[in-house]
Amino acid sequence: MTSAFGRTTAKILMEIGAVHFRPQDPFILTSGRASPVYIDCRKVISFPRARRKIIEMMGDIVEQEIGFESIDAVAGGETAGIPYAAWLAERFALPMLYIRKKPKGFGRGAQIEGEMATGCRCLLVEDLATDGGSKLNFIEAIRTAEGKVSDAMVVFHYGIFPQSISSLAAVGVRLHGLATWWDVLATAEETKRLDSAGIAAVRAFLDDPEGWSKAHGGKAHK
């Protein structure tokens, strides 16, 4: 359930203060779900050594799971995916694009910033994936602009909502990520970052996020 990349990423994110635990006073996520944990991957932009290691690991996953010559451009989703797309594009010496959440203007490239040729094979990059919903908008924008996308990459994948995989698979896209909450939980337990009650609360959420959310004042999604 955990991986070497995942554990290293979890340690980095915890060290820079990107991971927050609040079992007694749950966060309410954008989706309306209640959660005892919250992650802010945007913090990585301010830590050069941390971000260099994260991009190195993301690059390794691209090479291992996607291929050396299988992408023509790296496309970041507005806004949190933009810096990661820029760093990955630099690593691979590829063009970089970014995808707006909503169209600006008219034409086939209304959501695309940058130069994208017809048939361009894009790697979609964002900071994290929860249930995968936002990725579908970006995928549709790339395809509307006559580009191709078969893979999406994130730093952090919640790893607890099956639809994050299935919804993308339904449109022919594979999701790749460095770390999940299971990696963070294992690291928190190892480093004594959480006491036994905190570990139990987070594990209960990861095992049944919808039930935990409903029991703690948040929405449950089918």
In the chain, domain spans: 43-191
* Nearest residue to 156 via CA among 10, 3, 21: 10
Instruction: Give alpha helix (H) positions in 16-71.
Output: 48-61
List per-residue pLDDT tens for the chain, 222 residues long: 568 999 999 999 999 999 999 998 999 988 899 999 999 999 999 999 999 999 999 999 999 999 999 999 999 999 999 999 999 999 999 999 999 999 887 777 789 999 999 999 999 999 999 887 889 999 999 999 999 999 999 999 999 988 999 999 999 999 999 999 999 999 999 999 888 998 999 999 999 999 999 999 998 776
CA–CA gap between residue 91 and residue 146 (Å, rounded): 25
CA–CA gap between residue 166 and residue 92 (Å, rounded): 28
* Nearest residue to 89 via CA among 132, 58, 47, 45: 58
* This prediction's pTM: 0.93
pLDDT of residue 105: 76
Return the structure tokens found at 98.
Answer: 């970014």
pLDDT of residue 209: 93
- Is 43-191 a CATH 1.10.3720.10 domain? no
pLDDT of residue 171: 97
Using only C-alpha atoms, what is the Rg of the chain? 18
Secondary structure letter of residue 60 according to DSSP: H
Return the structure tokens found at 50.
Answer: 């941390």
Query: Which residues lie across from 179 on neighbouring strands?
Result: 156
CA–CA gap between residue 179 and residue 181 (Å, rounded): 7
Residue with tokens 């994936």: 129
